Structure 1
Amino acid sequence: MTKQAYGYAALAMFCLGISPVAQADLKPISENAMGEVTGQAFMQVENIAGENHDFTRMTLGMDVETRVNVDNIQVGQIDGGADFTASHLALGHIARADGDVFNGRTYNEGEVIPFEARRPYIELAEDAGGLAGFRMGFQQARGSVSSSTTSFSGNIAGLKIREEGSGTVYDTTLFAGEGETATHFRASHIGLAPTGNEPVSCVSGVNCAPLTNLRSIIIGDEGAGEGEVAFTDGFFIGFQRDGDVSWESLDGTNTLNVGKGVFINLPTNMTLDLSQLTGDGVDRLRTHQVDMGTKLF
């Protein structure tokens, strides 16, 4: 055994004592040889001309499935407040019981139902003054977002509210607070969107509720079948220097003008009963290995 050890040591010292020499030449290859090579770039860069800004979008060719928990988060802290404030933020969740179904798939208790994010991108907006804003998002996103949110700047696009008596389905809007009107900046409540041109004030328990009642939502578009959720390309968070940045949809068909500061766009196809939203609220999905209950604690 000792002789073998000395032998291995001698061989290693001999190899380390040899200076490695590498010789390589770059040689051109033919067009035919290039044509036989297939693949996909890790990053795609697009330059997009806008009305007031020029945009550069960098997209990564990767897919992610994740489940993330964040205890507390504040973004855009200035002027005595924050553009976004939430606690117990979570992406993805865990099946609470055997037979839980999400997007047509059945899960057993304790199995992870991930947040799916495909082809993440970063986009820059520039003008004569330099960098005017940037946003981060995904070409395709689908899954649950849970939180206890007290300040929200942005849009929860596609969320509907159904009035049980008439069965009428209404659009929703964010409100600045109890007794306040609709806003996309530092909202604390959500409820029925005004149907006319007259502004409508938020009255908790009647036409609106605190955002803390919206404990979990499903990000995604309407799927082909009942209970199915399709991927959405509208999920992003933007940071703007000024209030006139118009982010273009990924398919280039429309733009979304956003304000100064933080703007979070959460697309969903959920429909809630008004009594549920203004009453006990939407149950929180299970986001921890130890189930904290539908109200978290």
Structure 2
Amino acid sequence: MILNGRVFAVICSVGSFIGVGDASAELEQLADMDLREHTGQAFIAIDQNRWENRDYIRVNLGMDIAVQMNADDVKLGEYHRYENGDACHDCNGSESGLEAQPADLWLKNFSLGTIAEENGVQSDGQYYQAGQVVPFNITDPYLEFALEDNVPIGIRLGFRGAQGVLGANILSLTGNLPVDIKDTARALRDAPNRPWWIDVAGALLGNTPVESKAQLVTGPNGSAGNYDYSTGGILDPVRASWIGIPDGAPFSIGPIFLIGTINFATDSCNLFGIPTCFPLSIYQSIDIGERQNDNTYKPVDGLFSSFQTQDLNWFNPDTARAVTATQGAFLNIPDGGIELKLSEAFNGLPRQRVEYIDRGVGLF
């Protein structure tokens, strides 16, 4: 973990204060005029808010962090749970109606940050040489505790700013994972199972914008290579293993000259024969951040992971808007935090390099 100069400066300043100076020196009061010439901010600040008859205590850490880290297996919230989201702590696993996945969050080969595979500008807009670490950048992390009648009911680790590559083979995800899909009509010509007229429309409409939003959904029936794309597509925020355009959500093309914007509704992971749902496991390196026109990314606010004993609203004190986290372990990727092209949505995102030694597990 690499801490930036702000933290280092604070540590040095504290060390200098402790170790330097005459032990007999006396403190002197500064005049108001002298105080005006100095500004500062606490390294740790504590905020307390009350929302919906609950107390929220946030410990803010004034830090900028650049990190590259790997973990073989991250499994959080491992207990039996019904498909409707209810926990069953007395279940032995043989009961009907249980979630197939054993944990709320299950991320294999989890990583934050990458290693540059060639010389060039990376996702943060900085130039790196091949072999250099391209960090995951975190600004102003915080720990927040939720209490009800002075009893702790939740804790979350969040970031006021986050940008970088999150890598994982996602087997189970509980939380929010909204993905903006933005491209041009020309890209529809590469859609799988497309009817012939999609090719014609893509050629005629060319650079006309197409947009939609994918979320965690139920997958189609079947097995790999033989899915029934007339099933699935229902919102599924608990232990999801698929992502796609939910039933009835719009797939927009436009504006088109003299016509305007046309909205098509998806149905059961299908849009005119084109699959609109995909396994989470094919997206193995995801750029977190606000995508720019040059394909670099700016930090976004709202990334957090939390644990709560009941469904709980976590508030943003700056906007008073809340994210509802379900009981158990929860991961929130903020709206606008991930944007994909159509080809990336259809085909997935390959794993980027996160190790210096090739262990033959696809991380080199």
Give the structure-1-normalised TM-score. 0.80
Of 237, 245, 270, the match for 1:192:
245
> Post-superposition shift, 1:160?
2.2
Match of 1:212 among 264, 277, 281: 281
Matched with 1:229 is 297
- CA shift in 2, pair 1:104/1:30, >3 Å: closer
1:293 to 1:47, Cα distance in 2 relative to 1, 3 A: same
Matches within 5 A, 1:151-162: 151-160=172-181
- Offset of residue 229 of structure 1: 1.2
CA RMSD between the two structures: 3.0
Q: Is the 8 A contact 1:119 1:140 kept in 2?
A: yes
Is 1:183 the equivalent of 2:183? no
Identify the residue that residue 14 of structure 1 maps to in structure 2.
Answer: none
Counterparts of 1:23 and 1:296, CA distance in 2: 55
The answer for the alignment partner of 1:131 in structure 2 is 152
Change (3 A) 1:272 1:193: farther
Q: Does 1:29 align with 2:29?
A: yes
Alignment partner of 2:110 out of 89, 96, 104: 89
Distance in 2 separating the partners of 1:108 and 1:30: 50
Q: Which of 142, 161, 164 is residue 143 of structure 1 equivalent to?
A: 164
- Deviation, 1:99, is 2.3
Counterpart secondary structure, 1:159: strand
Aligned partner (choices 111, 120, 123) of residue 99 of structure 1: 120
Rounded to whole Å, the distance in 2 between the matches of 1:256 and 1:142 is 20
Preserved contact between residue 182 and residue 212 of structure 2 (Cα < 8 Å): yes
- How far off its partner does 1:28 sit? 6.0
Q: What residue in structure 1 maps to residue 214 of structure 2?
A: 172
CA drift of 1:103 comes to 3.0
Deviations 1:55-80 (A, max 9, x none): 11110111110100001110001115
Separation in 2, partners of 1:240, 1:90:
24
- Contact 1:239/1:261, CA 8 A, preserved across alignment: yes
Percent of aligned pairs with the same residue? 29
Tell me which moved more, 67-76 or 168-177.
168-177
Residue of 118, 121, 124 corresponding to 2:139? 118
Q: 1:5 is matched with which residue?
A: none
Aligned partner of residue 96 in structure 1, secondary structure: coil
3-state SS of 1:168 partner:
strand
Q: How does 1:261-276 map to 2 (within 5 A)?
A: 261-267=328-334, 268-273=337-342, 276=344
Q: CA deviation at 1:241?
A: 0.8
Aligned residue number for residue 16 of structure 1: none
Corresponding residue for residue 51 of structure 1: 52
Q: Distance in 2 between matches of 1:291 and 1:193?
A: 39
C-alpha displacement of 1:255 = 1.2
Residue identity in the other structure for 2:246: A
Structure 2 portions without partners, runs of 5+: 1-21, 81-92, 94-101, 190-201, 203-208, 222-231, 251-264
SS in 2 for 1:164: helix
Shift of 1:271: 1.6
Distance in 1 of aligned mates of 2:137 and 2:317: 18
Which residue identity does 1:257 align to in structure 2? T
* Conservation of the 8 A alpha-carbon contact between 1:66 and 1:91: yes
Q: The residue matched to 1:102 in structure 2 has which SS? A: coil
Contact kept, 8 Å, 2:180 with 2:211, in 1: the verdict is no
Provide the secondary structure at the position in 2 that maps to 1:212: helix
User: Which of 319, 327, 331 does residue 252 from structure 1 map onto?
Assistant: 319
Partner SS state of residue 357, structure 2: coil
- Compare CA radii of gyration and give the structure with the larger one: 1
Offset at 1:134?
1.2
> What is aligned with 1:11?
none
Aligned residues: 272
Point out where structure 1 has 5 or more consecutive residues left out of the alignment. Answer: 1-21
Q: Which moved more, 1:152-161 or 1:82-91?
A: 152-161
Offset of residue 291 of structure 1: 5.6
Taking structure 1 as reference, are residues 262 and 159 closer, same or farther at Cα in structure 2, changes over 3 Å only? farther
Q: What residue identity is the alignment partner of 2:295?
A: G
Larger deviation: 209-218 or 29-38?
29-38
How far apart, CA to CA, are the structure 1 residues paired with 2:360 and 2:285? 13
- Are the counterparts in 2 of residues 103 and 227 from structure 1 also a CA contact under 8 Å? no
Q: CA deviation at 1:93?
A: 0.3
What does residue 260 of structure 2 align with? Answer: none
